[in-house]
Structure 1
């Protein structure tokens, strides 16, 4: 269904959920994790949870980390969220201006994760076609056309990017690149901890990094994510839009040259500089 011009999956979101978000009461110590789908949100969530494990005195594996995907109706409950102890983790795929106003009024810290749109699109395509109970696409070309028009779940990657890019210099917002985490995970974990005010030793940071590699997360995906784990951790490879050498991802296996050029042009049009 469509809400404020953006399509959402009916299997996960409802209009009632968005109405509830309007009155959601954020706290100043809430941690917001924002990303477009398939940009590594589960990876970022994993890192933050491990950081909390090493930060909160008395926290054990049996203790619940209080986490909610903001716009997903099967998890979100205003009344249940009120009972959660702090800090709460609020993950979301929403645009900046679609988040509850109380998040900004209470100056909650926001981590925003971005990924090369080409790899994002390929990962999203495979996710749609692999996971049961969500719509599939007949071909990559069909999905690419819909992706470029923003007619996929959670709308346009580029609109999401433009909306968040306006707040790149906000004091309570930190932008993280999937590719940077891939290149130097230890440095990324350290930056995340510092932004969130976590006091972690170098040894703890190294341990978190080791436990947050793609291989380590995939090995435990059935335990942490159940049946959907094998779909969330499919390959974990990346490629960059330009310039920096890195591990090549799936996009070159699916993109036609004309499609690659079209996305480059769209990226420059929306996010030049």
Structure 2
């Protein structure tokens, strides 16, 4: 197993991509802290992991709350003795053109994605530096590389997380910490499912047209990226054995963005 006895924290792991990665990490032998604002969702994932023979714990965590993040990492260390992998995955979305965008909606998206990633990173690094190293991972997006209409706060946050990832790679190297960012295309998670009717209303087109002409238009095969695609990459990055792979953005998007 590629992550045998590794200790991992994944935020936003109560559903969607975070859940898929948490379950995949557990299958690869990791002990997984499933962190989410939704306590019931986190506990459901933990029960599924345990039912399959894995080891997991649930953490109620608002990633925008400094104390909640610090307390969550402390709880992991108390329970399992350290932290080897942290994945800042928690996120939200808001659909609006910039000229209609309320500041509170802008701030909420930035706060969860970028400020939350910072708080998780800082807490994780303090533990990893003490223990001689680790792996810091971030959930970016193709929107870490390019923009789409109606998503200015999300695009801005994802660009910012790319910069944070690179800064961690530079600063963390001397402490044995690697840092990489996963940049998926559209995955049919609850977050994306919610966007389909929202974009249809805003653009005045059908939901089928949103999928075909907006979300999948620039892929090479008209296919969504899958949860399995993303979780496999997350395992590979966590298991990679050296700093040869650090500070990198890995795009998994059916060719939507090529770099």
**Alignment TM-score, normalising by the size of structure 1:** 0.36
Choose between structure 1 and 2: higher strand proportion: 2
Task: Give the TM-score normalised by structure 2.
Answer: 0.37
